[in-house]
Every structure is written in structure tokens, then in C-alpha cells.
């Protein structure tokens, strides 16, 4: 079953087309990766899924339901990590922030408290529990944002640049957490500029460029993909594929004034 189904989604900002008849599907219980250069349309896609943006045309179904028909019901089963951590309630303490999130998702107070204890422990930010989020470092803000999206046990998790600003140990922890979530049957979509993480973590990967999906494959198969039909050369890595599908040939690779 498809958890996410996007068909011919178009979103324009004035004369600029951010999503151009965009098609994308995600199956139940897998980790998918969506990668692309800056301005390719990744964040626009996530914002459309989060119901923050209204798209111009197309179909966007989550859990088999059209998003427009039941945005609140669908959002309750989603956990979305946005790239910008300043979108947290900066003048709440870490604990208060998670409490508010729990309340909004309709969790009982004792359940919220128990989960908060576990989360602070898991992300090793116990000492910052009663400090204002504003005073957190970028990495800690990311941890709180991550904690707040899994607090209500969502079915579908979307992570926009989840590893940005995190230290190596936390990255390893988050990677393990994602594997655990997958094992429990959750569906996950990750966007990241760090291609090696995407290659390690995901079951399926898609490359978006200029508002369209230009490449899609099972991650395990990417090294078997033929790069050159004549020589039968295959791709060496996801990076190889990414460069091939997103870089234009006439693009300059050197700056004239640098000696």
C-alpha cells in the first residue's frame, strides 16, 4: 500500500515553477530518500505534504486520503522535522515544548511526562531540560525537534535534513533510531545533502531536479545501473548518479580569477 501518493503535483511561485507535474510514491514500512540540488523542490514538496503550502494542481494522498479533505486527521499521524530549527517555540523550555506538542496531539499528561523522560535520556539532553530552547546550540535544537516529532508515535515520519548540526555520536544514534522505527513498521522519508547517509539508510531513493523526479530506484540496485550503454559501465555510487542527473554539461567548474 502507498502511504504517500503524489500525482502530477504542480506548484508555481509567480513565473517560477517549483513543482512541475511531480509524481512520487512511497510504500508502507520503508525508508525513502529524496535528494536534489538547492531549489530543486524538496522543501516545497515537504511543505505541501505538511499542508503549509497550497499546490496549484495535482493529487496529494496520504494514508490513501486526499490531504485537502482531512488535513488535521492526516497531520495527527504525521511527524515532520523541518530544516529550520528556529521554527520551534524558542521561548519555551525543552520540557515545556514537548509537553505542549503532546497536548496538541491529544496525549494524556502522564503519558507525555513518561515519554519526555525517555526522550531526554535518549538524546542525552537531560541537563538542558529546564533551559529555554533559545539558549540551545543548533544540534540541541535539532534533537528537541526530533524528539517532538516522534513523541506522539506517528505512522509516517518526514525528515528534512535530519543530520545537519548533529555531532557524530548523535548521528549514529539517530540512524539506529530510524532503523528501529522502520522495524516497527513506520514509513520514513528523508531529504539530505549527505548522500552517503541516504545510501546507508534508505530502501528507495529518488532524485528531484527542477521540480521533477529525474531518477528513481531501489537503493540496493543503484550500483548495478548502467551509466554508459556502449561501455556497459555502471555507476559507482549515489554521488555518481546525482552528479549525472543534476549537473548540466556546460556548467562552469572553475572560477576565472582564482590562480
Which residues would be at the binding site for another protein (CB under 8 A)?
Answer: 12-16, 18, 39, 43-44, 47, 50, 52-54, 71-73, 75-76, 80, 82, 86-93, 96, 100-101, 103-106, 132
| CB-nearer residue toward another protein: 106 or 185 | 106
Residues with Cβ within 8 Å of 27's Cβ and at least 6 positions away in sequence, in order, are: 1, 2, 3, 187, 204
CA–CA separation, 258 and 256 (whole Å): 6
Half-sphere exposure at residue 148, Cβ-oriented, CA atoms within 13 angstroms: 25
Q: How far is the CB of 91 from another protein (least distance, A)?
A: 4
CB atoms within 10 A of CB 49: 23
CB atoms within 10 A of CB 164: 14
| CB-nearer residue toward another protein: 46 or 222 | 46
| CB-nearer residue toward another protein: 13 or 257 | 13
Q: How far is the CB of 256 from another protein (least distance, A)?
A: 26
Q: How far is the CB of 89 from another protein (least distance, A)?
A: 6
153: helix, strand or coil: coil
84: helix, strand or coil: coil
CB atoms within 10 A of CB 250: 5
| CB-nearer residue toward another protein: 64 or 73 | 73
Q: How far is the CB of 25 from another protein (least distance, A)?
A: 23
4 within 8 A of 26, measured Cβ to Cβ: yes
Q: How far is the CB of 84 from another protein (least distance, A)?
A: 9
Q: How far is the CB of 72 from another protein (least distance, A)?
A: 5
Buried b (16+ CB within 10 A) or exposed e, 122-159: ebebeebeeeebeebeebbbbbbbbbbbbbbebbbbbb
CB atoms within 10 A of CB 103: 12
| CB-nearer residue toward another protein: 75 or 193 | 75
244 within 8 A of 230, measured Cβ to Cβ: no
CA–CA separation, 136 and 202 (whole Å): 30
| CB-nearer residue toward another protein: 33 or 211 | 211
| CB-nearer residue toward another protein: 76 or 173 | 76
Q: How far is the CB of 132 from another protein (least distance, A)?
A: 6
Amino acid at each position: 500500500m502507498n502511504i504517500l501518493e503524489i500525482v502530477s503535483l504542480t506548484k508555481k511561485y509567480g513565473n517560477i515553477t517549483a513543482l512541475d507535474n511531480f509524481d512520487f510514491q512511497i510504500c508502507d514500512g520503508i525508508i525513502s530518500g529524496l535528494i536534489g540540488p538547492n531549489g530543486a523542490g524538496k522543501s516545497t514538496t515537504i511543505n505541501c505534504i505538511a499542508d503549509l503550502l497550497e499546490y496549484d494542481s495535482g493529487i496529494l494522498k496520504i494514508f490513501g486520503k486526499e490531504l485537502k479533505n482531512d488535513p488535521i486527521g492526516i497531520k495527527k499521524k504525521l511527524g515532520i522535522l523541518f530544516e529550520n530549527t528556529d521554527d520551534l517555540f524558542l521561548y519555551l523550555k525543552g520540557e515545556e515544548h514537548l509537553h505542549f506538542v503532546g497536548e496538541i496531539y491529544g496525549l494524556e499528561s502522564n503519558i507525555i511526562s513518561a515519554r519526555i523522560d525517555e526522550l531526554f535520556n535518549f538524546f542525552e539532553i537531560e541537563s538542558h531540560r529546564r533551559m529555554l530552547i533559545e539558549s540551545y546550540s543548533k544540534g540541541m535544537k535539532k534533537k528537541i525537534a526530533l524528539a517532538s516529532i516522534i513523541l506522539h508515535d506517528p505512522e509516517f515520519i518526514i525528515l528534512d535534513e535530519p543530520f545537519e548540526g548533529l555531532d557524530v555520536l548523535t548521528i549514529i544514534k539517530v540512524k539506529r533510531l530510524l532503523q528501529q522505527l522502520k522495524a516497527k513498521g513506520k514509513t520514513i522519508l528523508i531529504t539530505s545533502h549527505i548522500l552517503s547517509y541516504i545510501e546507508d539508510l534508505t530502501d528507495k531513493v529518488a532524485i528531484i531536479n527542477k521540480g521533477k523526479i529525474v531518477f528513481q530506484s531501489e537503493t540496493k540496485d543503484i550500483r548495478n545501473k548502467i551509466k554508459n550503454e556502449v561501455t556497459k559501465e555502471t555507476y559507482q555510487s549515489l554521488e555518481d548518479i546525482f552528479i549525472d542527473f543534476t549537473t548540466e554539461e556546460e556548467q562552469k567548474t572553475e572560477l576565472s580569477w582564482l590562480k
